[in-house]
């Protein structure tokens, strides 16, 4: 069995591992490479665990055996005391062995061993009662130990892989969450960049968004007017506590505008003499136009134990200042910036779609079709944008599905189908901590529900299914049927539309299906052609018969 790789230290066994082995009449201990036991992390009293882990004979044997195990690549099972076998499984960190997970297997010989009485004394257990409990397990035979060792080592390795996979999914979710927080902030700002007739409103929205994302008491934006001769800024926005403090911060920022060097944010620690106020850390990010400082975006009064400005604080401030510059320079760039935001989402989802050449571009096409359907249903511009985002990320949970399942040629078996059916919930888990993503999450979690209630994961039916999910379900099914697979060719357009109509009222919303059937698929065909031109030899998809 390959050694188990752990990030730091000697880990305690999981409760799941402990419980499974205990049900089989075995005990799992962990120790460092010197044989010193590590807390198992198990909860509750257990006579068998106490009998093994509190025995001085067993602990001394464990320490002695570790010296031998340290010299062996594949340590073999050994008998600690007559009738009690130890099965070691190395734990390594950066190729260095740091300890062992040891499965203790009591055998029938222990019932008659004189060591049982001494082990019971060490654990403060009644020897007669313990003998009865051991006999009731029943204990294994010594001849079975080699086979049991193979089984427990395999189970241990499987459990470690499961835990590792869960950690990977959690890490990916956390990283995506951090990225989405920044993207969501920038997107919230860019949504207001079309209001060119009201700079104060745009600056106010920017400050409010930063105030929600950053642990600072005040966020202030100051911008000079074009050709202004007054010492006071023309545009001012303050988010946070009102009163004299905000006015003082505005005066402080006005002085900084005159002194700030281009492209250089000013960071004042709580004890800096130049800070806005004693004990108050301040970030001042210049706002530029043609290389000249024309404004200042500031955050002051950090509400955290660490009063120093973090790299995240600086990154968000810099990003917000850049957007203010863009707004002031040309509010018409709003559409380009919005496209950049959506492009970021597309790149995230495309990395998942690209695992399988047959689904490459799927998320982008589903997003486009879902947006078209929302437009045809008369949704407002904000809802259309959110529906489009939901369509882009609807399959993000497939990042947690093994690649061998995603790219398997031919049909999937029941276990592989179960993996695929988990992706809506995994996608929901990955995205659920992102602020203001509630409406998007509904589409991610429920896009495989059916109108008749036989879908998954929640078995919702009819109007209980969120509308965004009902829209995605139709677009998702359309593209899936149009796409070729290793085991079938894509269907003709007329067949696909007929199938959607046939499933209206059972699988799909009967009110949405007619609207979808009436859509213009020119843009969809263009996306398909773009994908086919990028993939030489790609099988032709179904088109109108």
Cα separation, 232 vs 255, whole angstroms: 10
Q: What is the pLDDT of residue 545?
A: 37
Q: What is the pLDDT of residue 457?
A: 94
pLDDT greater at residue 258 or residue 283: 283
Q: State whether residue 268 is helix, strand or coil.
A: strand
Cα separation, 465 vs 100, whole angstroms: 50
- Reference 61, options 31, 26, 97, 41; nearest CA is 31
138 prior amide bond cis, ω within 30: yes
Quickly state the pLDDT bin for 403 (edges 50, 70, 90).
Answer: confident
Quickly state the pLDDT bin for 2 (edges 50, 70, 90).
Answer: very low
Q: What is the pLDDT of residue 178?
A: 60
Mean pLDDT of all residues in 524-529? 88
Mean pLDDT of all residues in 304-332? 78
Q: What is the pLDDT of residue 538?
A: 47
Mean pLDDT of all residues in 305-318? 80
Quickly state the pLDDT bin for 3 (edges 50, 70, 90).
Answer: very low
DSSP letter at 537 equals T
Q: What is the pLDDT of residue 381?
A: 83
Q: Crossing angle of helices 522-534/362-376, nearest 10°?
A: 170
Task: Flag whether pLDDT at 192 surpasses 80.
Answer: no
Relative to beta strand 4-5, strand 78-81 is: unpaired
Q: What is the pLDDT of residue 188?
A: 76
Q: What is the pLDDT of residue 539?
A: 44
Task: Flag whether pLDDT at 431 surpasses 80.
Answer: yes
Mean pLDDT of all residues in 316-327? 85
Which phi and psi (to 5°) does residue 54 adopt? Answer: -105, 5
Task: Flag whether pLDDT at 189 surpasses 50.
Answer: yes
| Partners of 102 in the β-ladder | 29, 88
pLDDT greater at residue 199 or residue 366: 366
Cα separation, 83 vs 104, whole angstroms: 10
Mean pLDDT of all residues in 306-316? 79
Q: What is the mean pLDDT of the chain?
A: 81
pLDDT greater at residue 471 or residue 200: 471
Distance spanning both ends of the chain, measured CA to CA: 57
| Partners of 277 in the β-ladder | 280
Identify whether the C-beta of residue 352 lies closer than 8 Å to the C-beta of residue 399. yes
Q: HEC profile for 57-77?
A: HHHHHHHHHHHHHCCCCCCCC
Q: What is the pLDDT of residue 311?
A: 77
Q: What is the pLDDT of residue 467?
A: 96
Which of the residue ranges 58-67, 339-348, 392-401 would you say has the lowest mean pLDDT? 339-348
- Reference 389, options 357, 431, 452; nearest CA is 431
| Partners of 78 in the β-ladder | 86
Quick one: tokens of 72?
Answer: 């062996």
pLDDT greater at residue 184 or residue 109: 109
CA distances from 271 to 45, 261, 393, 514 (A): 53, 22, 45, 67
Quick one: tokens of 368?
Answer: 């486009």
Quick one: tokens of 279?
Answer: 């004990």
pLDDT for 497-506, tens place per residue? Answer: 999 999 999 9
Percent of the chain scored above 90 by pLDDT? 31
Task: Flag whether pLDDT at 357 surpasses 50.
Answer: yes
> What pTM did the predictor assign?
0.43
Sign of torsion, CA 43 47 49 50?
positive
Mean pLDDT of all residues in 1-26? 63
Question: How many C-beta neighbours within 10 Å does residue 402 have?
Answer: 12
Beta strands in 22-66 (DSSP E): 27-32, 37-38
Identify whether the C-beta of residue 373 lies closer than 8 Å to the C-beta of residue 478. no
Residues in CB range of 73: below 8 A, 6 or more apart: none
Give every strand in the sheet of 266-268, ordered side by side. 235-240, 216-223, 292-302, 282-289, 266-268
Quick one: tokens of 274?
Answer: 């130049």
């Amino acid at each position: 069995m390959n050694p188990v790789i752990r990030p730091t230290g000697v880990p305690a066994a999981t409760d799941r591992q402990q419980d499974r082995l205990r049900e089989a009449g075995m005990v799992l201990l962990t120790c460092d490479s010197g044989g010193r036991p590590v807390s198992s992390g198990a909860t509750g009293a257990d006579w068998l665990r106490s009998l093994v882990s509190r025995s001085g004979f067993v602990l001394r044997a464990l320490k002695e055996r570790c010296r031998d195990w340290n010299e062996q690549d594949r340590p073999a099972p050994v008998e600690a005391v007559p009738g009690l076998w130890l099965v070691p499984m190395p734990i390594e960190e950066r190729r260095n062995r740091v300890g062992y997970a040891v499965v203790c297997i009591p055998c029938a010989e222990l019932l008659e061993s004189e060591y049982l009485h001494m082990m019971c004394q060490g654990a403060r257990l009644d020897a007669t009662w313990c003998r009865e409990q051991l006999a009731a397990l029943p204990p294994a035979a010594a001849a079975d130990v080699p086979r049991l060792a193979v089984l427990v080592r395999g189970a241990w390795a499987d459990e470690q892989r499961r835990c590792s996979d869960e950690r990977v999914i959690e890490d990916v979710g956390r990283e995506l969450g951090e990225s989405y927080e920044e993207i969501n902030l920038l997107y919230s700002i860019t949504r207001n960049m079309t209001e060119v007739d009201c700079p104060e409103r745009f600056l106010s929205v920017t400050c409010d968004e930063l105030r929600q994302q950053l642990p600072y008491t005040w966020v202030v934006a100051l911008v000079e007017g074009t050709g202004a001769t007054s010492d006071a800024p023309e545009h001012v926005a303050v988010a946070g506590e009102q009163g004299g403090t905000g006015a003082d911060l505005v005066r402080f920022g006005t002085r900084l505008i005159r002194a700030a060097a281009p492209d250089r944010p000013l960071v004042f620690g709580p004890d800096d003499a130049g800070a806005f106020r004693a004990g108050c850390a301040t970030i001042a990010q210049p706002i530029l136009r043609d290389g000249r400082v024309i404004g200042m975006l500031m955050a002051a009064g950090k509400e955290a134990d660490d009063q120093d400005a973090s790299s995240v604080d600086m990154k968000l401030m810099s990003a917000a200042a850049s957007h203010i510059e863009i707004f002031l320079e040309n509010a018409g760039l709003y559409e380009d910036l919005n496209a950049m935001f959506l492009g970021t989402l597309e790149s995230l989802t495309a990395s998942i779609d690209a695992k399988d050449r047959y689904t490459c571009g799927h998320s982008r096409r589903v997003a486009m079709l879902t947006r078209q359907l929302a437009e045809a249903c008369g949704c407002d511009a904000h809802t259309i944008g959110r529906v489009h985002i939901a369509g882009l990320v609807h399959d993000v949970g497939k990042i947690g599905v093994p690649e061998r399942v995603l790219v398997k040629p031919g049909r999937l078996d029941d276990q592989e189908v179960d993996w695929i059916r988990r992706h809506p919930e995994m996608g929901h888990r990955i995205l659920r901590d992102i602020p203001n993503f509630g409406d998007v999450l509904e589409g991610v979690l429920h896009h495989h529900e059916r109108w008749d209630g036989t879908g998954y994961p929640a078995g919702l039916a009819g109007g209980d299914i969120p509308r965004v999910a009902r829209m995605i379900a139709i677009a998702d099914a359309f593209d899936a049927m149009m796409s070729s697979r290793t085991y079938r060719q894509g269907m003709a357009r007329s067949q696909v539309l007929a199938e959607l109509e046939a499933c209206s009222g059972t699988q799909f919303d009967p009110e949405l299906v007619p609207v979808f059937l009436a859509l213009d698929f020119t843009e969809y065909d263009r996306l398909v052609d773009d994908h086919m031109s990028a993939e030489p030899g790609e099988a032709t998809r179904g088109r109108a018969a």
